[in-house]
A = this chain, B = another copy of it.
Amino acid sequence: MAASSSVTAAQALVGRAISGHPSPYPSQPDRLAFGLSSLADRALKSFRLQNRRLQAAPRPRRATVTRAAAVETLEGKAATEALVDKSVNTIRLLAIDGVEKANSGHPGLPMGCAPLGHILYDEIMRYNPKNPYWFNRDRFVLSAGHGCMLQYALLHLAGYDSVKEDDLKAFRQWGSKTPGHPENFETPGIEVTTGPLGQGVANAVGLALAERHLAARFNKPDLEIVDHYTYVIAGDGCQMEGISNEACSLAGHWGLGKLIAFYDDNHISIDGDTKIAFSENVNARFEALGWHTIWVKNGNTGYDAIRAAIKEAKAVKDKPTLIKITTTIGYGSPNKANSHSVHGSALGAKEVEATRKNLGWPYEPFFVPEDVKSHWSHHVPEGAALEAEWNAKFAEYEKKYKEDAAELKRIISGELPTGWEKALPTYTTESPADATRNLSQQCLNALAKVLPGFLGGSADLASSNMTLLKMFGNFQKDTPEERNVRFGVREHGMGAICNGIALHSPGLIPYCATFFVFTDYMRAAIRISALCEAGVIYVMTHDSIGLGEDGPTHQPIEHLISFRAMPNILMLRPADGNETAGAYKVAVLNRKRAAILALSRQKLPQLSGTSVEGVEKGGYIISDNSSGNKPDLIIMSSGSELEIAAKAADELRKEGKTVRVVSLVSWELFDEQTDEYKESVLPAAVAARISIEAGSTLGWEKFVGTKGKAIGIDRFGASAPAGRIYKEFGITAENVIEVARSL
Give me the interface of A with B, judged by CB distance under 8 Å: 102, 104-105, 145, 172-176, 179-181, 183, 193-198, 236-238, 240-246, 249-250, 252-253, 269-271, 274, 276-285, 287-290, 340, 458, 460-464, 474, 476, 486-493, 517-518, 520-521, 523-524, 527-528, 530-531, 548-554, 557-558, 561-562, 564-568, 696, 698-699, 701-702, 705-706, 714-716, 718-721, 724-725, 728
A159 to chain B, nearest CB (A): 24
A564 to chain B, nearest CB (A): 6
Residues of B within 8 A of A183 (CB): 551-553, 719
Q: Is the CB of B242 within 8 A of A196?
A: no
Residues of B within 8 A of A699 (CB): 561, 565, 698-699, 701
A431 to chain B, nearest CB (A): 27
Q: Is the CB of A461 within 8 A of B553?
A: no
Q: Is the CB of B561 within 8 A of A461?
A: no
Residues of B within 8 A of A175 (CB): 720
Tell me the complex Cα distance, A240–B492, Å.
Answer: 11
Residues of B within 8 A of A282 (CB): 288
Q: Is the CB of A195 within 8 A of B553?
A: yes
Tell me the complex Cα distance, A586–B172, Å.
Answer: 38
Q: Is the CB of A568 within 8 A of B716?
A: yes
Q: Which of A183, A284, A706 has the most C-beta atoms of chain B within 10 angstroms of its own C-beta?
A: A706
Determine the residue in chain B with the shortest Cβ distance to A703: B701
Q: Is the CB of A285 within 8 A of B277?
A: no
Q: Is the CB of A551 within 8 A of B698?
A: no
Residues of B within 8 A of A289 (CB): 280, 285
With A270-B461, A486-B276, A549-B105: A493-B290 Cβ-Cβ less than 8 Å: no
A135 to chain B, nearest CB (A): 27
Determine the residue in chain B with the shortest Cβ distance to A250: B277
Among B181, B287, B290, B553, point to the contact of A181 (Cβ < 8 A).
B553
How many chain copies does the complex carry? 2
With A104-B548, A180-B550, A565-B558: A462-B520 Cβ-Cβ less than 8 Å: no
Determine the residue in chain B with the shortest Cβ distance to A477: B279
Residues of B within 8 A of A488 (CB): 240, 269, 274, 277-278
New contact pairs (17) apart from A179-B718, A183-B552, CB-CB < 8 Å: A104-B549, A145-B553, A173-B724, A179-B551, A183-B719, A195-B551, A237-B489, A242-B242, A242-B243, A245-B246, A249-B278, A271-B461, A277-B486, A277-B488, A567-B714, A567-B715, A698-B702
Tell me the complex Cα distance, A251–B193, Å.
Answer: 31
Q: List 26 A-B contacts (CB under 8 A).
A: A145-B553, A176-B720, A180-B549, A180-B554, A181-B719, A193-B553, A195-B550, A196-B521, A196-B554, A240-B246, A242-B243, A242-B490, A245-B245, A250-B277, A252-B280, A269-B460, A274-B488, A276-B476, A281-B288, A281-B290, A285-B289, A531-B552, A557-B566, A561-B562, A567-B715, A567-B716
With A246-B240, A715-B567: A194-B276 Cβ-Cβ less than 8 Å: no
Tell me the complex Cα distance, A360–B175, Å.
Answer: 75
Q: Is the CB of A728 within 8 A of B174?
A: yes
Residues of B within 8 A of A725 (CB): 174
Tell me the complex Cα distance, A392–B180, Å.
Answer: 61
A717 to chain B, nearest CB (A): 9
Tell me the complex Cα distance, A183–B550, Å.
Answer: 11
Q: Is the CB of B195 within 8 A of A554?
A: yes
Q: Is the CB of B549 within 8 A of A716?
A: no
Q: Is the CB of B564 within 8 A of A493?
A: no
With A476-B276, A699-B698: A462-B271 Cβ-Cβ less than 8 Å: yes
Tell me the complex Cα distance, A173–B728, Å.
Answer: 12
Residues of B within 8 A of A290 (CB): 279-281
Tell me the complex Cα distance, A721–B702, Å.
Answer: 33
Among B173, B278, B520, B701, point to the contact of A253 (Cβ < 8 A).
B278
Residues of B within 8 A of A524 (CB): 518, 520-521
Kindly list the 8 A-B residue pairs having the minimum CB-CB distance in the complex, ordered from nearest: A242-B242, A277-B488, A179-B719, A195-B553, A284-B288, A558-B565, A562-B562, A174-B720
Determine the residue in chain B with the shortest Cβ distance to A276: B486
Among B174, B464, B549, B558, point to the contact of A172 (Cβ < 8 A).
B549
Residues of B within 8 A of A105 (CB): 549
Q: Is the CB of A280 within 8 A of B288?
A: yes
With A174-B720, A489-B241, A719-B176: A698-B565 Cβ-Cβ less than 8 Å: yes
Tell me the complex Cα distance, A180–B550, Å.
Answer: 5
Residues of B within 8 A of A518 (CB): 196, 524
Tell me the complex Cα distance, A361–B120, Å.
Answer: 67
Q: Is the CB of A565 within 8 A of B242?
A: no
Tell me the complex Cα distance, A181–B549, Å.
Answer: 9
Q: Is the CB of A463 within 8 A of B271?
A: yes
Residues of B within 8 A of A562 (CB): 558, 561-562, 565-566
Q: Is the CB of A271 within 8 A of B458?
A: yes
A469 to chain B, nearest CB (A): 14
A294 to chain B, nearest CB (A): 16
Tell me the complex Cα distance, A303–B214, Å.
Answer: 50
Tell me the complex Cα distance, A415–B176, Å.
Answer: 54
Determine the residue in chain B with the shortest Cβ distance to A521: B524
A87 to chain B, nearest CB (A): 27
Determine the residue in chain B with the shortest Cβ distance to A707: B706
With A242-B242, A242-B245, A706-B705: A270-B554 Cβ-Cβ less than 8 Å: no
A172 to chain B, nearest CB (A): 4
Q: Is the CB of B716 within 8 A of A242?
A: no
Tell me the complex Cα distance, A698–B551, Å.
Answer: 28
Residues of B within 8 A of A490 (CB): 240-242, 277
Residues of B within 8 A of A246 (CB): 240-242, 245
Among B243, B279, B528, point to the contact of A553 (Cβ < 8 A).
B528
Residues of B within 8 A of A553 (CB): 145, 181, 183, 193-196, 528, 531
A286 to chain B, nearest CB (A): 8
Q: Is the CB of B558 within 8 A of A567?
A: yes
Residues of B within 8 A of A530 (CB): 716
Residues of B within 8 A of A565 (CB): 557-558, 561-562, 696, 698-699
A280 to chain B, nearest CB (A): 5
